[in-house]
Structure 1
Amino acid sequence: MNKESFASRLVFFCNKVLALVTILAYILPFLAPKLFPFLSVLTLILPFFIVLNAIFFVFWALQLKRKMILSGLVLFFGITFVSKLYKFSETDLPKESTDFSLMSYNVRLFNLYEWLPAKDIPEQITEVIQDYNPDILCLQEYSPNDKVRLRNFPYKFIEVDGGKNKYGQAIYSKFEIVNKGEIDFPNSSNNVLFVDVVNQKDTIRVYSMHLQSIKISTDIHEKIDENKSKFIFKRISEAFSEQQLQAEMIKEHYNSCKYPKIICGDMNNSAFSYVYRTIKGEMKDAFEMAGTGFGKSYNFDFYPARIDYIFTENEFEIKEFKNNTKVKLSDHFPIYTRVSLEKK
């Protein structure tokens, strides 16, 4: 019997460490970030752990070694996380007269501070919205701009704050808005808007959320040393703690609503987080139901980040979901869904 090589033992040791960390990351969505703020950062890189476990599984399988069982079990127990990471096929059901559509888009103030060199960003964003022609439109990081002309929405609810350059959120609707309001987060400029709209005699509650940002640049090219890494981890963990409170406030609010509900917007967190689990609850994730690929919604160079979501209650049938990564007019990409409300 040949003695196992040192290299093989070292690789399997790394495999075991990875398996342990991955299992820990599986558990973290069930634990409040305030309890383990630094550990909660692991949920952001859980997709990398899943991919590495898959690589280890294939590595050992090709050698016909039983060591593949370890990563195989890790992947098996994390199958629900895998489905949140990548969808192999999409749904696009035929349109019916009862369908309606919703679009959510963080427009980054319509390029107010000229992050992008193009001078016609507001006009281009207007064209994108007109092309999708949604029945309900939710805009985060909204700023009043005369160049943005959304004429096909007779109803709207806009809440902005600030001095000379105001910013906030906006909800536009082709359906009558019969009620509206706001969830203010303590010690934060972020918030949630909600409206009740009437569509074919059905009243529907729509929430547009914008949670605390982790404030990491979309193009990190400078060298990241130890101090920089500690700073980033501290910033992320603090943001996650803030998001925990915000998510719990949203959940408490929508639990008191008797109407069928849709929640959309910029969560600034991954689908593997406590915040996602808290807000989504028993709702459907439109991407998981009808999307394809990674569902990327944030323009980050090194990671297919999905931090913008559309959730619906079970009364809705999700017939289509799109995330348009070709529209690079903001640091986010627009997301779109078509749904119908099932009659009881």
Structure 2
Amino acid sequence: MKKESWISRLAFFVNKVLAILTFLAYILPFLAPKLFPFLSVLTLLLPLFLIVNFIFFIVWVLQLKRKALLSGFVLLIGITFINKLYRFSETNEKAESNDFTLMSYNVRLFNKYEWLPNKKVPSDISDVIQNYNPDILCLQEYTPNENVRLRNFPFKNIELEGNKNKYGQAIFSKYEIINTGEIDFPNSSNNVIFADIVKFKDTIRVYSMHLQSIKISTDIHEKLDENKSKFIFMRISEAFKEQQLQSELIKAHYDSCKYPKIICGDLNNSAFSYVYRNIKGEMNDAFEEAGSGFGKSYNFKYYPARIDYVFVEDIFKVKEFQTNNQVKLSDHFPVITRLEIVEKESKK
């Protein structure tokens, strides 16, 4: 019998370590981050774990080795996680007269502090919004700007804070808004706002959320020494604990709402996190219903970071969903979905 090479043995050892970490990441969404704040960071790496497991699986299969069973089993167990990572087919059903579109977009203060060299960001974002012409528009990291043209929305809810430099969130609607409100987070400038919107004979509640940021640089080439890496790790852990409290406040609020609900915005966390699972609850993720590809919504180099979401209750049928990662006017990309209000029995 031919002796196995040291490279093959080392590769399988790495494969086994990866399998353990992947299983651990599978469990973490069911555990509150405040219990294991450092381990919770692994949920951010789950997409990478799944991709590398798939690579190991293919390598071992091509070599006709039973080692493929390990990664194969890991991928089989995590099939529901794979659907959150990547969707192979896109849904785009025929538009009907009673459909409506919703856009959610973290506009990064319309480039107020010139992170991008483009001086026309506010007007360019206006053009993007005008081209999509959504019926409901939710903007996170919003700030008033004279170059932003949003004339097609007669109804709005804007919640700002700050004195000289005001910022916050905004919901714009073509349909009548009959009630508005806000969920404040303790010791945080982040929040959630909502609007009760009347569409024909239906009243729906739309929440726009912006949870605690984990403040990871989008520049993957940024030099990281050991001390800085530890600091970032601890900062992410603390942000996850803050997000847990924020998600519980959101859930308690929407549980008391009698209207059909849509929750959208910047979660600042992955679809594999406790926070995602807690806020989503029994609702549907519009990307999983009708999206395609990785659904990348945050402009992080070489990594498919999906942190902007649209969650809808069963009364809404998701007929189309897209993330436009060609619009590079913020550190986020706009997400757009087309919905129809239907009865539960006829949703299929």
Q: Tell me the TM-score normalised to structure 2 length.
A: 0.97
TM-aligned CA deviation for residue 309 of structure 1: 0.3
The corresponding residue for 1:233 is 233
Output one character per residue of 1:207-244: Cα deviation in whole Å (capped at 9) or x when no partner: 00000001112124232121121111111111011000
- SS of 2:23 mapped into structure 1: helix
The corresponding residue for 1:40 is 40
TM-aligned CA deviation for residue 343 of structure 1: 3.2
1:136-215 → structure 2 map (5 Å cutoff): 136-215=136-215
Q: Aligned letter for 1:182?
A: E
**Is 1:280 matched up with 2:270?**
no
Q: Aligned letter for 1:70?
A: L
The corresponding residue for 1:262 is 262
TM-aligned CA deviation for residue 142 of structure 1: 0.3
The corresponding residue for 1:129 is 129
**Is 1:322 matched up with 2:319?**
no
- List 4+ stretches of structure 1 deviating above 4 A: none
1:215-226 → structure 2 map (5 Å cutoff): 215-226=215-226
The corresponding residue for 1:7 is 7
Q: Aligned letter for 1:125?
A: I
TM-aligned CA deviation for residue 302 of structure 1: 2.8
The corresponding residue for 1:16 is 16
Fraction of identical pairs, as percent: 74
Distance of 2:6 and 2:221 partners within structure 1? 37
- SS of 1:148 mapped into structure 2: coil
- SS of 2:127 mapped into structure 1: helix
The number of residues matched between the two structures is: 344
The corresponding residue for 1:293 is 293
- SS of 1:151 mapped into structure 2: coil
Distance of 2:93 and 2:22 partners within structure 1? 36
- SS of 1:114 mapped into structure 2: coil
Output one character per residue of 1:132-182: Cα deviation in whole Å (capped at 9) or x when no partner: 101100000000111112111010010101121100000000111111100
TM-aligned CA deviation for residue 257 of structure 1: 0.6
Q: Aligned letter for 1:61?
A: V
Distance of 2:16 and 2:302 partners within structure 1? 26
TM-aligned CA deviation for residue 297 of structure 1: 0.6
TM-aligned CA deviation for residue 9 of structure 1: 2.2
TM-aligned CA deviation for residue 322 of structure 1: 1.2
The corresponding residue for 2:55 is 55
Distance of 1:171 and 1:3 partners within structure 2? 65
- SS of 2:222 mapped into structure 1: coil
Task: Say which is worse superposed, 49-58 or 263-272, in terms of deviation.
Answer: 49-58
- SS of 1:172 mapped into structure 2: strand
TM-aligned CA deviation for residue 4 of structure 1: 3.1
- SS of 1:246 mapped into structure 2: helix
Gaps of 5+ in 2: none
- SS of 2:37 mapped into structure 1: coil
Task: Say which is worse superposed, 104-113 or 115-124, in terms of deviation.
Answer: 115-124
Task: Say which is worse superposed, 4-13 or 256-265, in terms of deviation.
Answer: 4-13
Output one character per residue of 1:56-99: Cα deviation in whole Å (capped at 9) or x when no partner: 11121112111111111000000011111111111110111110
